[in-house]
Amino acid sequence: MTGAGEQQGARAAAVAGARRIVVKVGSSSLTTAGGGLDADRVDALVDTLAKATGEKEVVLVSSGAIAAGLAPLGLDRRPRDLARQQAAASVGQGLLVARYTASFARYGRRVGQVLLTTDDTSRRAHYRNARRTLDQLLAMGAVPVVNENDTVATDEIRFGDNDRLAALVAHLVRADLLVLLSDVDGLYDGDPSTPGTSRIDEVTGPKDLEGISIGSAGKAGVGTGGMVTKVDAARIAAAAGIPVVLTSASQAADALAGRPTGTFFHRTGRRSADRLLWLAHASTPRGALTLDDGAVRAVVDGTGSLLPAGIARVEGEFSAGDPVELRDAAGRAVARGLVAFDAAEIPQLLGRSTRDLARELGPEYEREVVHRDDLVVLRR
């Protein structure tokens, strides 16, 4: 770790230089214990964002739709079944955006709702559309309010938590800073309720997290995510070249002013090919292709696409365009990609050259099973 003065300077510089900021807020910071929206909490957050960001562009990733829909539907707790979660989200999302619209209107700011699923961001055309919409909203002075599309998202196309969604949105919009707000004021080296634990002021890389039991380092509120999801999100963003501040919603003003609050995650990498970050972190494989040793080398160590000749086995039910896992002979996932064929088509292609396939089945089969542009390496 660096010295306190150097750390504070890095944080202040990162915040001061950020022209585009993604702020994520959790359900527990917006709702009452009974599950309804707390208008005062929403207004307090909007007050902070409006006053602290000035001319900066802000994207707000907001949880709270399901929680906001509980009380109006007579539910006393978050349901476990997907259908009732979707119903609560359908009611709550409208209430949430209406509250944000009214609150930001006090500052002459418009709000635009953007609901995403993983399909919207791992497929090339959908990814471009999502980026274009967000960029246009910001260019027109609106505040995009982003949430997972809980009303239609199934287990197969869910992000799972809005912390990870926020990290990926920060990359999507090329943000300069990500601020994760919850009911915990930072990352601790143990359970914050246990005497003797202390807050970690900064994380410069993975080594700073060694020996820390993140699972017990604070659990955030009533939402779906805890500290584990927040640290994972911070790692994703930092590895993509985006610094992160993790703190409580009550300290949002200090975080946006660059003052020493919460935990500051330094950049650990540079921006990668945009859509591939989503493919690696946001997609859920619908099946798997087992590769022979030559194909593994070509995919992992080379720059080649995956051809039919290098595939030994196919598993799962998927359609062309779906994400699939690419495995070595030992069953280890080495890459992930968007497949160009349906699962039912691939068995007849196994181990065969594209030239032979084109001659026998037609020219449309003279192509890659997974193109290099639709492939991300997970293991080297």
Annotated binding site: 24, 63, 150, 162, 182-183, 224-230
**Residue 134: CA count within 13 A, CB half-sphere:** 29
Cβ atoms < 10 Å from Cβ of 128: 12
User: What's the distance, CA 50 to chain centroid?
Assistant: 24
**Whole-angstrom Cα distance, residue 354 to residue 366?**
5
Cβ atoms < 10 Å from Cβ of 239: 21
Amino acid symbol at 15: V
**Whole-angstrom Cα distance, residue 135 to residue 347?**
42
Annotated binding site for ATP: 24, 182-183, 224-230
**Whole-angstrom Cα distance, residue 123 to residue 121?**
6
Can you give the length of the chain in residues?
Answer: 380
Q: At what angle do helices 39-53 and 82-105 cross, to 10 degrees?
A: 50
**Whole-angstrom Cα distance, residue 102 to residue 94?**
12
Would you state the structure tokens that stand for residue 293, as one six-digit string?
């040793």
Annotated binding site for substrate: 63, 150, 162
Would you state the structure tokens that stand for residue 24, as one six-digit string?
């994520």
Helical (H) or strand (E) element with 311 = strand 311-316
Would you state the structure tokens that stand for residue 232, as one six-digit string?
């994972």
SS3 193: coil
